Chains A and B, each alone.
Chain A
């Protein structure tokens, strides 16, 4: 890694940390309903929305009501996305006349976008009409992110309120997150991205004349469009020539802005942010990468403001940043080191000022190694899941780190809202462990942590590993699960493990060689996404309700301070221990054995 590489990583971290504080303060004001620029403009819209919907904004909810509202709202959203896909052939704004999506794929995608996962079994430009992308997918990009933020704010109220059974109003938290935070930021980012070259049009795909006509073999088709078979039953191929290139277009920028800001990650095109129309320049890459972690980092400060002690927010942010930075410096060198199998063929993989070098399979020339590896760490630290390089073609260690970051439970920054509420659950576990060691009742932010909170925390921490490891075991024991694997050997196992990790923690990125758009994976991964999203949100809200009802315990001599470097280290150890103990055996069968194999037989 050269100096420019270090410099790019440094600028990225600096920009992230500098921007997170003012945005965090702004978001705290949004949730406290204080006067801000946006709500002086849009308060009319906000009040109008509540009136039309029959929402009493000042009426707070108990945690059960809050969860009920969230579930009904998300379920309806899911059904709309499903319906739009299955009848898109009958609806307008479908200039390529794309057919309706199959039942299993439509269900998988609907769950995927409603749960903020944005796992994509389909290829955007070949499957989804502009209307489906806008009214279905873009909308859920906003609303699933806003739902995550709402649950976080409810949990924070559990700490900041006392002796009450109410944790806020879901409709209000959801609306404010969308109206005052996600929409203005997305609008700004979308327009800047178009300036860099991201497309934004309702016109049909463009056709251009090729400089060098393409000769290729394609399956021979009879008059009805069926493949012609030869005497052995194999499909016949015929040579065809193409003089033209079809360029897929669409209203991409508006969707890409929120896909990054809302830690959604679902690409407009199949190649996601590797596609030059989604991520055309190094600057667009920088801005999109910044957008991935911006809100999750800023929410740490929001938390600090809302609990009245900004040091608490800094501690969580520091813990996340430390793990993040450490793992950047594992992944980038692994990718820069390149692939020994190619060295022996006479390939130059050394970085210089003339070439990025390294493992360039599945990476883009304008982005090179550093930006691809940095993005891979950021997108899996957050539960974003957009990619600017193909993780399946990463070196074994370079690909293991993103997978492990997902398996840690998406708490190193994590999804908007969901990352921090996950981290707060780990903080409860950390104070509980510390409490056991010193023989005191654990407290966090003036609230006693008792049996009920720990039961819920255990459920939250156990559900994702159960889905990931159980699902992987099921997939590799069945023919249907193994049939989709692309790469042979240990790497094939990694493809399955990555898919289940991604769905079981609502990330959405993939080792995309796995052919996941088949009924087996569409249903299995759909179920995993659903259980991991709501199976975690409901216990989190239960903790919020239980904490809100408790009285405040004043700080005493036996209280463990939770704003210190010591606590940050304790928190990191808790997260890493759970993640390592749970997943090292599975990782040993995939990336670790592949790494040994790669260097033993170059």
Chain B
């Protein structure tokens, strides 16, 4: 066994330098020069240059005037982007049904006239707890509430939802979706231009 020690130790050291040092450094160099925005987290900045979110990471919304994203199971508060994770509740766990029932109640409380069935992604926790998207159906479910809370014509909100809807990538991959933070920022921007 001892005769293997020298080649094993030296090879491990050199391979560590190669695959653990040189390789990540090279990827970082390439990433930072070709795709700097993506490599640093796809951050969104406001007019003053302050970072106000990431295009890839959701934020929690609970006011009637904003579109709500997926429920998030991160601790200690939802959408904690320093501690990602799902609820891990099993399908037959009563805690899951209770949580979903509460979320439906919260939605209906602010939108009592809406008797449509609730799209499933709007009341179930995402895997990462940071899901930036909801389905098109989940956005449509909330249009009336948002328009009413903002005293905006529904057509304006519908147009914004449509302009923020992403189709399947290359028309094939994934699911059609709406970026919630992007949509809400656009709503705020529309409100600012409407009030000169």
Interface residues of A (CB under 8 A from B): 4, 7-8, 11, 49, 52-55, 68-69, 72-73, 76-77, 80, 123, 125-126, 134-136, 138-139, 141-143, 171, 174-175, 178, 183, 186-187, 190-191, 194-203, 205-212, 214, 216-218, 242, 245-249, 251, 253-255, 257-258, 269-271, 274-277, 280-283, 285-286, 338-339, 341-342, 345-349, 352-368, 371-372, 387-390, 392-396, 486-491, 494, 511-513, 594, 597-598
Contact = CB atoms under 8 A, between A and B. Distances in A.
B63 interface: yes
A214 B172 CA distance: 37
Contact of B7 (A53, A281, A282, A394): A53
Interface in B147-194: 168-170, 172-177, 181, 184-185, 188
Contacts of B7: 53-55, 69, 171
Contact of B12 (A80, A251, A357): A80
Interface string B34-72: 110011111110000011111111011111001000100
A4 B10 contact: no
Interface in B50-102: 50-57, 59-63, 66, 70, 76-94, 96-97, 100-101
Residue of B63, B91, B93 most packed against chain A (CB within 10 A): B91
Contacts of B195: none
Contact of B59 (A80, A211, A255): A211
A49 B22 CA distance: 15
A526 to B, nearest CB: 21
A366 B175 contact: yes
B93 A271 contact: no
A206 B119 contact: no
Nearest to A143: B15
A209 B86 CA distance: 23
B172 A362 contact: no
A513 B86 CA distance: 9
B82 A246 contact: yes
B143 interface: no
Contacts of B177: 365-366
Contact of A354 (B24, B100, B170, B176): B176
Residue of B19, B119, B125 most packed against chain A (CB within 10 A): B19
25 contacts: A49-B14, A52-B14, A68-B4, A72-B8, A123-B84, A190-B27, A214-B60, A245-B81, A255-B24, A271-B127, A274-B128, A281-B174, A348-B119, A357-B120, A359-B91, A359-B120, A361-B91, A362-B89, A362-B127, A389-B127, A393-B89, A393-B96, A512-B85, A512-B88, A598-B92
B51 A76 contact: no
B57 to A, nearest CB: 6
A139 B135 CA distance: 39
Contacts of B118: 346-348
A266 to B, nearest CB: 14
Contact of B174 (A52, A54, A275, A285): A285
B35 A194 contact: yes
A209 B32 CA distance: 24
B123 interface: yes
Interface residues of B, number: 109
Nearest to A280: B56
Interface in B3-38: 4-12, 14-16, 18-21, 23-24, 26-28, 30-32, 34-35, 38
Contacts of A141: 19
From DSSP, what is the main secondary structure of chain A's interface residues? mixed
Interface of B: 1, 4-12, 14-16, 18-21, 23-24, 26-28, 30-32, 34-35, 38-44, 50-57, 59-63, 66, 70, 76-94, 96-97, 100-101, 104, 116-121, 123-138, 140, 168-170, 172-177, 181, 184-185, 188
Contact of A123 (B30, B76, B85, B130): B85
Contacts of B43: 206, 208, 247
Contacts of A136: 20
Contact of A134 (B20, B82, B88, B125): B20
A271 B87 CA distance: 11
Given A187-B23, A251-B27, A282-B173, A72 B92 contact: no
Given A246-B80, A346-B104, 10 more contacts: A76-B12, A125-B84, A194-B27, A271-B86, A342-B124, A353-B136, A355-B119, A355-B121, A367-B174, A512-B88
B77 A138 contact: no
A316 to B, nearest CB: 29
A4 B168 contact: yes
Contacts of A354: 119, 135-137, 140, 176
A30 to B, nearest CB: 17
Residue of B39, B44, B52, B92 most packed against chain A (CB within 10 A): B92
Contact of B117 (A126, A346, A360): A346
Given A68-B1, A341-B97, A212 B104 contact: no
A208 B86 contact: no
Contact of B57 (A211, A277, A394): A277
Residue of A214, A255, A276 most packed against chain B (CB within 10 A): A276
Nearest to A191: B30
